[in-house]
Amino acid sequence: MEFVVGQRWVSQAEPQLGLGLITEADGRHITAAFPAVEEERMYAASSAPLARLLYQIGESLTDIDGNTLTVIAIEKVNQLNYYLTRDSAGQEHIVPEAKISAVIELSTPSQRLFSGQFDKNSAFELRAATIDWRHQLQSSEARGMLGPRTNLLRHQIYIAQEIASRFAPRVLLADEVGLGKTIEAGMILHHQLQTGLASRALIVVPEPLLHQWLVEMLRKFNLHFSLFDLQRHQALEEAGEENPFECAQLIICSVDLLCDEQKIAQQAIAAEWDILIVDEAHHLQWSENSVSQEYQVVESLAAKSNGLLLLTATPEQVGIDSHFARLRLLDPARFHDLNHFIEEQQQFVDLNSLVSSLNNQQPLSDEQSTVLQSYLSDTNGYDGTDSKINKTIIKKLLDHHGTGRVLFRNTRAAIQGFPVRIQQGYPLIRPDQLNGPIGLYPEQALQAENLDWLATDPRVEWLEQQLKALKGEKVLLICASAGTAIDLEKYLHLSSGIRSSAFYEGLSIIERDRAAAYFADEELGAQVLICSEIGSEGRNFQFAHHLVLFDLPTNPDLLEQRIGRLDRIGQTDDIKIHIPYIKGSAQEYLYRWYQEGLNVFTESFSAGLTVFENFKQDLMPWLNGTSSQTAANFESLLKATAEYTDQLRKELQQGRDQLLELNSCDNDIADQLIEKINAAEHSDLLHTYMMQLFDTFGVEHDFHSEHCLVLHPSDHMLSDYFPCLKEEGVTINFNREKSLLREEMEFITWEHPMVTESMEMVFSMDVGTSAIAALQLKSIPAGTVIVECFFAIQCSAPKKLQINRFLPATPIRLLLDSRGKDLSEIVTHEQLNRLAQHMKKSNRLAILKQIRSELEKMIDVAQTQAAVLSQPLMTEAERQVNITVGGELDRLSELKKLNGTIRDEEIHFIENRKTEALKHIANASAELQAIRVLINL
């Protein structure tokens, strides 16, 4: 090796010294200065542990002024390199190697190889596996859906995939109670974050649901949201933050905060959001004559946010006016006139009847045939009995549906898997102390008489005995007022020794969460959780199977919400509903009206409020004690209510918007996606890969139980930080079913942060980029050199373009001999792993010096071959963009002529996406990711 003053070399023995500069060279000895640490070293020229640093065209270097430059040409003068470079502004600069910064990171595989920074074979194998898995995950059709800790339910999977794949989706999620709208919203957000379609999200919820959403997003989706309240906001402002909402990417706050603090609302509106999620949106009051403050705040936020998810009650529950108000938030230009909207909805009655017949393969009537031809002119004479043709027709008709792309509503009638409701009424003897009418809340009447209602009200004694009879069972009790809840909890806890917890609006958010957690604890938790009416919204307790309705609300929807806290997807047992009431009281009248008139205790009914409004005038006198009618009159009221309810149920069933239901869940598509998710989970490949990671990074792992490991940091870790690994350790689980039962364990999937961040660390820390190993094969001559190179297609582009969908980081493996012949088809990577043997570092360094020139030529050949092999991949990616994005653009452009809910922004985004994607793909290249040199001894 020849040393010349001014050359730059790296110490193979002490790489931490940085880049050295040869200051003296007399033939026998050399002196190298290391400016980064202000030290010098003297070496014997014949055995100096130094490696020449040579940059290649396309690589980046940093000059002594700190500028990052790209090498575009190299000129050698008197054994010194002069690099022609280009900066980010396109300006060219000549950088003599003496002017290269001494503080360097040798990041390319060839730089690390020739500077003597070798990795273990196991690290090289990990990097090769990571390159391969990155490609598979980027190109997976299930991408974005693998991570959530949820049951794989068809309607949720379909909605999440359908909505999340859109740019800036603006939709209304209006599933019936118990179908999991929160889960759907979380899945959509998780998908958009994973695929790069979103990076900033704001969730706005009623104040009592703040912590529930915070915990749900973390436990089920591994999304770490920042909770913004007044105290947090003030702290950030005092720390000098101009707009606290720009300090975090994922934020959750209450609608109450935004309404109470105008400045905070303005700051939230000013921050840019990729997606806004609003829960309980049906509480936002709007009419043509009056708009609530809550609605105005959300309207302003919605106007500034790209995407919008509104979680709301069903259209039947809130009425057409309120339903229209939510649609206005999604697209005020499309939904600008209530009367026009009502007329438009009427037009879909005939369309819905047509779809119902097609869906059931029923022959079409003449009227239905006419309707079909009015939408699809090429169907003249078709009778509607071919199931395959019907599917195609229905798909086309869906595109005509006025709100089909913005409203998703699944119903219990269309979804299976709900528990049976078993109700039991308990008539109780009237207290002697009460002489007058007993209203809906007997405790109030007893307190008005200055009586100890807990000692007098027969419901209290009944409750005490019932809980003792249900010992070991979790019981949820809901009553109307916080005062009743507080009194009952104290009585049961202090007088009866029954473990109980209270949940009411007087508690702080943290106190409510503690109460709910105490109830959820299986071993030492409360037997009964006593909730005031706020327990009927948002909180779910499907691990309990007994519900006590200590009183009854007059609003049927509120009663349905109460029952819905237990009667949900995920409930594992029948629901036992217990209703105590005092004979002859308003409670008995209301209980009988609900049971015999609406049958609502045993069967969910979304239009109960319609029935109540129809019979309100006749019912209320019986409830407020002012009725002068006879018992026979009440029996007639029950009969009339039952008849009206039966008729309404039939009309709702016949008038079900089947078009909307079909658009809200396509079982075939959902099943295909679930199959792909299961395929990614039901193998040992992830477990095997993670074991490679743990061993390479020095993470200790011990068997815990089937599918589970216990991880701990060790003293010999590759880095002080390892994703999601706590100092005290963490238990991980690879099984979805087990993860739903054991939330304290981390559910490890290909999209869990422990996996995704570890994969990023493999690349960012240059783990396994270069290795040298020995072979001992008698079939080839000793001294034979083979180079194994892994390349990957790299295409730098904004995440929102989703380039990986068309051109993932596809691995290209080459196995070259000294003649440049590729042997990769003959010898697999796995075969080489079994043959490769460890070699001492001193031997590796000695051999490297001898064969460096040969290796450089072999790597150049590999670069050339990889570039050739990448061209068909890039051509195919361009073709896929034209087919997929171009086809989507053509489809939406055509559909916009039929369906006004397709926004111009969507079409413009897709147009730009196609143009930009093709431009970035044209600039893609095959980059060297890892090198392994194998020498036959």
Q: Over 60: is that where the pLDDT of 656 sits?
A: no
Q: What's CA 178's distance to the chain center, in Å?
A: 20
Between 378 and 707, name the one with better pLDDT: 707
- pLDDT for the residue numbered 73: 94
Least confident range from 13-22, 116-125, 193-202: namely 13-22
* pLDDT confidence band for 901 (50 / 70 / 90): low
Instruction: Answer for the pair 579, 423: CB distance below 8 angstroms, yes or no.
Output: yes
Is 186:198 a contact under the CB 8 Å cutoff?
Answer: no
The yes-or-no verdict on residue 857 having pLDDT over 70 is: yes
Q: Which of 88-102, 556-570, 718-732 has the lowest mean pLDDT?
A: 556-570
DSSP 500-547: EEEE-TTS-HHHHHHHHHHHH-TTTS-SEEEE-GGGGSS---TT--EE
pLDDT single digits (tens) 257-276? 999 999 999 999 999 899 99
Q: What is the pLDDT of residues 745-802, one digit of tens each?
A: 899 999 999 999 999 999 988 899 999 999 988 888 888 999 999 999 988 888 778 8
End-to-end, the C-alpha distance of the chain in Å comes to 24
pLDDT value at 326 more than 80: yes
Higher pLDDT, 566 or 343: 566
Instruction: pLDDT band for 383, please (50, 70, 90 cuts).
Output: confident
Q: Give the 3-state secondary structure of residue 930.
A: strand
pLDDT at position 454 is 92
CA distance 195 to 322: 34
Higher-confidence position of 764 and 591: 591
Q: Name the helix (H) or strand (E) containing 788.
A: strand 785-794
CA distances (Å), origin 484, targets 393, 585, 799? 57, 18, 53
Domains of the chain, start order = 8-105 (2.30.30.140), 144-331+406-411+656-680 (3.40.50.10810), 341-394 (no CATH), 421-603 (3.40.50.300), 683-750 (3.30.360.80), 770-936 (no CATH)
pLDDT value at 375 more than 80: no
In 564-615, beta strands by DSSP E: 575-582
Distance CA 790, CA 631 (A): 86
CA 282 – CA 292 distance, rounded (Å): 12
**Res 448 pLDDT > 90:** no
Structure tokens at 495: 């007088």
| Residue reference for tokens 């049906």 | 282
Question: Confidence band (pLDDT; 50, 70, 90) for 597?
Answer: very high
pLDDT at 354: 80
Q: In whole angstroms, give the CA distance from residue 242 to residue 205.
A: 24
pLDDT-based confidence at residue 548 (cuts at 50, 70, 90) = very high
pLDDT of 661 higher than 80: no
Stretch among 8-22, 408-422, 678-692, 851-865 having the lowest mean pLDDT: 408-422
- pLDDT of 347 strictly over 70: no
In three state form, how does the secondary structure of 676-741 look? Answer: HHHHHHCCCHHHHHHHHHHHHHCCEEEEEECCEEEEECCCCCCCCCCCCCCCCCEEEECCHHHHHH
Residues 7-28 have pLDDT tens digits of 999 887 787 788 999 999 988 8
Angstrom distances, CA of residue 583 to CA of 432, 442, 460, 479, 559: 12, 11, 15, 18, 21
Q: Residue 805: its pLDDT value, please?
A: 81
The residue that leads in pLDDT, 625 or 463, is 463
For residue 99, what pLDDT is reported? Answer: 94
Residue 624's φ and ψ, nearest 5 degrees, are: -100, 10
DSSP strand pairing (546-549 vs 475-478) = parallel
Q: How confident is the model at residue 649 (pLDDT cuts 50, 70, 90)?
A: confident
Taking the C-alpha atoms of residue 581 and residue 551, their distance in angstroms, rounded to an integer, is: 8
| pLDDT for the residue numbered 15 | 77
Contact between residue 22 and residue 31 where contact means Cβ atoms under 8 Å apart: yes
pLDDT band at 559 (very low <50, low <70, confident <90, very high): very high
The model's confidence at residue 197, banded by pLDDT at 50, 70 and 90, is confident
For the segment 137-161, the average pLDDT, to the nearest whole number, is 92
Average pLDDT over residues 407-436: 84
In the structure encoding, which two tokens stand for residue 276, read together? 């806004």
How far is the C-alpha of 786 from the C-alpha of 824, rounded, in Å? 11
Percent of the chain with pLDDT over 70: 95
Q: Which residue has the higher pLDDT, 384 or 815?
A: 815
Question: What integer pLDDT is reported at residue 179 of this predicted model?
Answer: 83
pLDDT band of residue 104 (cuts 50, 70, 90) is confident
For residue 122, is pLDDT > 80?
yes
CA–CA dist 503, 793 (Å, integer): 56
pLDDT over 90 (residue 543): no
Q: Is 237 helix (H, G, I), strand (E, B) or coil?
A: helix
List beta partners, residue 204: 253, 278
Amino acid (1-letter code) at residue 269 = I
